[in-house]
């Protein structure tokens, strides 16, 4: 489609983004959106930027890009125990964007927004000579004083993770253009599962209330279990002992590790899981597991918090374990 046949900025917003707006979006016709947190609630704010060629492949399905852009923010809100209230979107479109691409992007974004009860309330749309760039700021509500911080872990607390670990990092390899040899050892179902875990992360929004009630600390796993645990330990000024044999792996991830055992380090450090890493006191962790199970989300104990700021000991297969790389880093 030629540039002069594309919708202008206001028509583009009306056609593709206004249908995603909630009441606080004011029809996307005003200069700002409006949030009304309930009496006794506080607002939790998180933001993530995604850049083509860095956070996703430029030729990824546009619906998956839209889904993931919101999912990574909802994952942060879930880890803080916050209920999603709305989000703002800034999108910088490259010169070669098409209406078909934007329609599919908005559809994927809208599916997750509706599923999570997190409507669009505003944002900005611009063009760029650089790569496609997205930035979402999401807002959540939590009862005053109940946000679950990274800094609350105490010696004796149990360390837990939701779901399964490593699927996102392995899925990136399966989905990417330069597939390593071990990918051929997986069947179609296993490859499809891992790729989908990378393309469509599932934010654990249903765990928010359980984390409020029972967790002492929490964060989402975006840059890898090993690296994100280190961030939590630093914030809480504690250490940890972690049993890597207890870290939950999906069936497809186990199949990948059987094909290439060296992938274990990638699974633990590679990122893109968007699961919840949390701690809970001895008297609370079983209740936390039970509350998560009511939403069909498994929580698995993988270790304990100990004294000693930042010190962490990993063990697996009867021996101490170490890692060449702690986590994904942009810098």
Return binding residues. Answer: 31, 46, 48, 55, 76, 123-124, 150, 220, 222-223, 272, 323
CB-based contact 225:169 (threshold 8 Å): no
Phi-psi region of 147 (alpha: psi -120 to 50; beta: other; left: phi over 0): beta
CA distances from 296 to 74, 276, 290, 299 (A): 18, 14, 10, 10
- For the annotated binding site for Mg(2+), the residues are 31, 46, 48, 76, 124, 220, 223
User: Any bridge partners for residue 125, and if so which?
Assistant: 91
Q: Which H/E stretch holds residue 220?
A: strand 217-221
Residue 303 · residue 246 · CB < 8 Å = yes
Residues in binding site for ATP: 123-124, 150, 222
Annotated binding site for substrate: 55, 272, 323
Q: Give the number of C-alpha atoms closer than 13 A to the C-alpha of residue 182, restricted to the C-beta side.
A: 18
Report the C-alpha gap between 65 and 296 in whole angstroms: 26
β-strand partners of 83: 141
Please state, in angstroms and rounded to a whole number, the distance separating the CA atoms of residues 276 and 299.
9
């Amino acid at each position: 489609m030629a540039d002069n046949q594309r919708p202008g900025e206001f028509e583009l917003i009306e056609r593709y983004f206004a249908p995603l707006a909630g009441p606080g979006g004011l029809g996307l016709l005003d200069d700002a959106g409006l949030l009304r947190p309930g009496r006794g609630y506080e607002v939790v704010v998180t933001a993530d930027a995604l850049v083509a060629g860095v956070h996703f492949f430029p030729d990824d399905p546009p619906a998956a890009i839209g889904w993931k852009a919101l999912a990574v923010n909802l994952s942060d809100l879930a880890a803080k125990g916050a209920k999603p209230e709305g989000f703002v979107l800034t999108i910088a479109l490259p010169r070669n964007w098409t209406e078909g691409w934007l329609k599919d992007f908005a559809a994927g974004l809208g599916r997750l927004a509706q599923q999570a009860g997190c409507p669009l309330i505003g944002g900005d749309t611009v063009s760029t000579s650089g790569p496609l760039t997205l930035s979402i700021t999401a807002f959540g509500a939590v009862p005053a004083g109940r946000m679950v911080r990274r800094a609350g872990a105490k010696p004796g607390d149990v360390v837990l993770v939701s779901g399964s670990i490593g699927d996102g990092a392995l899925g990136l390899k399966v989905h990417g253009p330069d597939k390593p040899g071990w990918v051929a050892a997986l069947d179609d179902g296993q490859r499809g599962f891992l790729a989908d875990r990378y393309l469509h992360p599932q934010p654990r929004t249903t765990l928010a209330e359980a984390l409020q009630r029972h967790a002492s600390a929490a964060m989402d796993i975006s840059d890898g279990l090993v690296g994100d645990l280190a961030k939590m330990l630093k914030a809480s000024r504690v250490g940890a002992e972690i049993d890597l044999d207890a870290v939950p792996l999906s069936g497809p991830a186990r199949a990948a590790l059987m094909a290439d055992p060296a992938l274990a380090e990638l699974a633990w450090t590679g990122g893109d899981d968007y699961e919840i890493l949390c701690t809970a006191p001895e008297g609370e962790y079983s209740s936390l597991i039970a509350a998560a199970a009511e939403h069909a989300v498994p929580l698995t104990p993988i270790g304990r918090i100990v004294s000693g700021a930042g010190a962490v000991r990993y063990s697996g297969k009867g021996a101490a374990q170490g890692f060449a790389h702690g986590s994904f880093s942009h810098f």
